[in-house]
């Protein structure tokens, strides 16, 4: 067992941040731990780790480096990238973890660079600009602390992760525009060709019109195909479905343009749920409050005849200016997890391959923990026509994401839109990267496929098992 001793005033502005950071560090050490304010109450048999302003020479445990400044950023220990403050005793990794997981590293860019959807463009994200988006910075910080323990004489190794020695892969699909045979979708495709000379949209338009005239299957309606592919590899996925217009919420111009209440959506959603696939909410850009999320959840539960646990924002258009507030509203609405944490490029927005538990920041207890998964890979990020990187750069970045997740036995969230499997027109070239990525993951026998709620429940059990005590916030 590890006992973290927080030597800071409980009314200090940084106190809650430190407790949260130590909680996330403890969960990555994969052992039972507790957080105390007073060394005297810590079990005598535990490994004691102290973090605070005034180093105590009488303290027999590990005094972690503590930085008193505000300059937190990229540091290197040997060849390993860290995120924290440099001190005369080493790197303050605790402040670095707090900075990343509370998204303070993004504040300056978010305040100045959000686009009209309320999203930070990938090229403006600080980790992308520094070339660090595929680095597991939080896990590297935890390993640095482990090395300090070893230097102190504690010959202790981390236990197996929540998934043992395996990598958890969560297959997900955004249901944005899964039809091409509708008048709106055909008209939009032809309009983009005529007015923007988009030849890929022209391909989509003609393909859609021809298949409609021949009464063939809608090219974008690929639910059955995904089910067959996933069944063949022993996997089931999570489909994030747009709820359609919500009465008290204005629809954003960039929201999807379909209504899941209309045929054939309700039948498809019920079938997916009955066969063991998960339905999640792909809420609109203007959905922000607990009331909004409750309405979204209720509507989709009625349509799918299933319980909803997970959510994801359309265009990642949530959780930028005040992520904790948005996630707390989702939690209050009854959601258990969210997968909207993406920097719009390959990699980890907050520098971690693991899920995070933001509810450990806003509440004292560990009851009903709300979990956030980083979505590190999306179909568009792997196609040079959609992303900024070249094909060669994309291949290197994808391999870095996969390898870093595997090395840390973390969770890898893949996001492929339902219509991408059509592999025609606008989405030509989107299917091949999926098969290549799955092939790469299946080459490793230590890969397990879970739905979003399955992975969430296992992480929640990990918290219940290992977090023994935390101080109450003032």
Cα–Cα distance for residue pair 212/179, rounded to 1 Å: 11
In this prediction, residue 346 carries a pLDDT of 94
Opening angle at CA 252, ends 249 and 258, nearest 5: 90
In this prediction, residue 111 carries a pLDDT of 85
- Given a cut of 90, whether residue 366 has pLDDT beyond it is no
- Fold observed for domain 167-469: TIM Barrel (3.20.20)
Q: At what angle do helices 431-442 and 391-407 cross, to 10 degrees?
A: 30
In this prediction, residue 114 carries a pLDDT of 85
- Given a cut of 60, whether residue 44 has pLDDT beyond it is yes
As beta bridge partners, residue 5 has 36, 50
- Least confident range from 201-205, 261-265, 443-447: namely 443-447
Encoded tokens for 377: 């890979």
Strands (E) located in 216-263: 238-241
Contact 300, 241 (CB under 8 A): yes
- Given a cut of 90, whether residue 385 has pLDDT beyond it is no
- pLDDT (tens digit per residue) in 166-213: 999 999 999 999 999 999 999 999 999 999 898 999 999 999 999 999
Mean pLDDT of 30-42: 91
Kindly write down the DSSP assignment for every residue of 362-379, as one continuous string.
H-SS-SS--EEEEEEEEG
Cα–Cα distance for residue pair 455/163, rounded to 1 Å: 9
In this prediction, residue 462 carries a pLDDT of 95
Mean pLDDT of 418-442: 93
Better-predicted residue by pLDDT, 376 or 318: 376
Contact 39, 59 (CB under 8 A): yes
Structural domain spans, the chain: 167-469
- Given a cut of 60, whether residue 100 has pLDDT beyond it is yes
In this prediction, residue 387 carries a pLDDT of 65
- pLDDT (tens digit per residue) in 46-90: 999 999 987 777 788 999 999 988 899 999 999 999 999 999 999
Contact 43, 468 (CB under 8 A): no
Cα separation values, 210 from 105, 136, 181, 216, Å: 50, 47, 10, 8
Opening angle at CA 241, ends 237 and 245, nearest 5: 175
- pLDDT (tens digit per residue) in 387-400: 656 778 889 999 99
Indicate the pLDDT class of residue 115, thresholds 50, 70 and 90. Answer: confident
Q: What is the dihedral of CA 148, 151, 153, 158, to 10 degrees?
A: 50
Q: At what angle do helices 290-304 and 323-332 cross, to 10 degrees?
A: 50
Contact 168, 412 (CB under 8 A): yes
DSSP conformational letter for 189: H
Contact 91, 108 (CB under 8 A): no
Cα–Cα distance for residue pair 247/412, rounded to 1 Å: 35
Cα–Cα distance for residue pair 80/96, rounded to 1 Å: 14
Kindly write down the DSSP assignment for every residue of 124-184, as one continuous string.
G-HHHHTT-TTS-HHHHHHHHHHHHHHHTT-------BTTBTSEEEEEEEEES---SSSHH
Cα–Cα distance for residue pair 438/451, rounded to 1 Å: 15
- Given a cut of 80, whether residue 381 has pLDDT beyond it is yes
Cα–Cα distance for residue pair 87/68, rounded to 1 Å: 9
Cα separation values, 277 from 167, 237, 450, Å: 20, 6, 10
**What is the pTM assigned to this prediction?**
0.95
Mean pLDDT of all residues belonging to the chain? 92
Q: At what angle do helices 15-29 and 452-466 cross, to 10 degrees?
A: 100
Cα–Cα distance for residue pair 126/62, rounded to 1 Å: 32
- pLDDT (tens digit per residue) in 292-344: 999 999 999 999 999 999 999 998 886 788 889 999 999 999 999 999 999 99
Indicate the pLDDT class of residue 384, thresholds 50, 70 and 90. Answer: confident
Cα–Cα distance for residue pair 60/123, rounded to 1 Å: 46
- pLDDT (tens digit per residue) in 130-151: 999 999 999 999 999 999 999 9
Mean pLDDT of 343-360: 96
- Given a cut of 60, whether residue 474 has pLDDT beyond it is no
How long a stretch of residues is the chain? 474
Encoded tokens for 395: 């291949």
């Amino acid at each position: 067992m590890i006992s973290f001793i927080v030597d800071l005033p409980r009314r200090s502005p940084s106190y809650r941040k430190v407790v949260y950071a130590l909680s996330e560090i403890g969960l990555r050490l994969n052992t039972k731990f507790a957080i105390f304010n007073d060394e005297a109450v810590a079990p005598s048999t535990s490994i004691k780790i102290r973090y605070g302003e005034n180093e105590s020479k009488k303290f027999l445990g590990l005094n972690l480096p503590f930085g008193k400044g505000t300059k937190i950023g990229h540091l290197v220990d040997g060849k390993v990238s860290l995120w924290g403050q440099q001190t005369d005793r080493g790197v303050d990794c605790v402040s670095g973890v707090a900075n990343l997981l509370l998204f303070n590293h993004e504040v300056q860019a978010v305040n100045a660079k959000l686009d009209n959807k309320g999203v930070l463009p990938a090229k403006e994200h600080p980790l992308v600009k520094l070339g660090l988006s595929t680095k597991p910075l939080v896990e590297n910080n935890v390993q640095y602390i482990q090395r300090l323990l070893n230097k102190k004489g504690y010959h202790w190794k981390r236990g197996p992760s929540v998934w043992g020695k395996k990598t958890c892969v969560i297959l997900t699909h955004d249901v944005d525009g899964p039809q091409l045979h509708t008048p709106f979708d055909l008209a939009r495709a032809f309009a983009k060709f005529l007015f923007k000379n988009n030849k890929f949209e022209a391909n989509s338009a003609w393909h859609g019109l021809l298949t409609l005239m021949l009464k063939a299957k809608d090219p974008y309606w690929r639910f059955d195909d995904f089910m067959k592919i996933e069944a063949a590899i022993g996997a089931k996925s999570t489909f994030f479905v747009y709820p359609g217009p919500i009465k008290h919420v204005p629809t954003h111009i960039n929201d999807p343009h379909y209504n899941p209440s209309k045929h054939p959506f309700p039948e498809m959603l019920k079938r997916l749920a009955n066969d063991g696939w998960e339905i999640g909410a792909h809420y609109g850009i203007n959905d922000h409050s607990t009331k909004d999320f409750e309405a979204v959840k209720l509507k989709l539960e009625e349509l799918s005849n299933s319980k909803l646990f997970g959510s994801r924002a359309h265009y990642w258009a949530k959780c930028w200016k005040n992520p904790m507030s948005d996630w707390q509203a989702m939690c209050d609405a009854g959601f258990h997890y969210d997968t909207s944490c993406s920097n719009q490029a390959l990699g980890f927005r907050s520098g971690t391959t693991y899920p995070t538990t933001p509810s450990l920041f806003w509440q004292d207890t560990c009851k009903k923990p709300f979990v956030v998964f980083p979505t590190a890979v999306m179909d568009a990020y792997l196609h040079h026509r959609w992303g900024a990187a070249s094909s060669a750069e994309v291949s290197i970045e994808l391999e870095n994401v996969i390898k870093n997740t595997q090395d840390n036995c973390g969770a890898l969230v893949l996001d492929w839109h339902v219509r991408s499997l059509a592999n025609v027109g606008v989405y030509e070239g989107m299917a091949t990267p999926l098969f290549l990525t799955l092939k790469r993951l299946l080459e490793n026998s230590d890969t397990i496929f879970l739905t979003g709620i399955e992975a969430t429940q296992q992480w929640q059990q990990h918290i219940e098992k290992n977090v023994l005590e935390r101080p109450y916030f003032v």
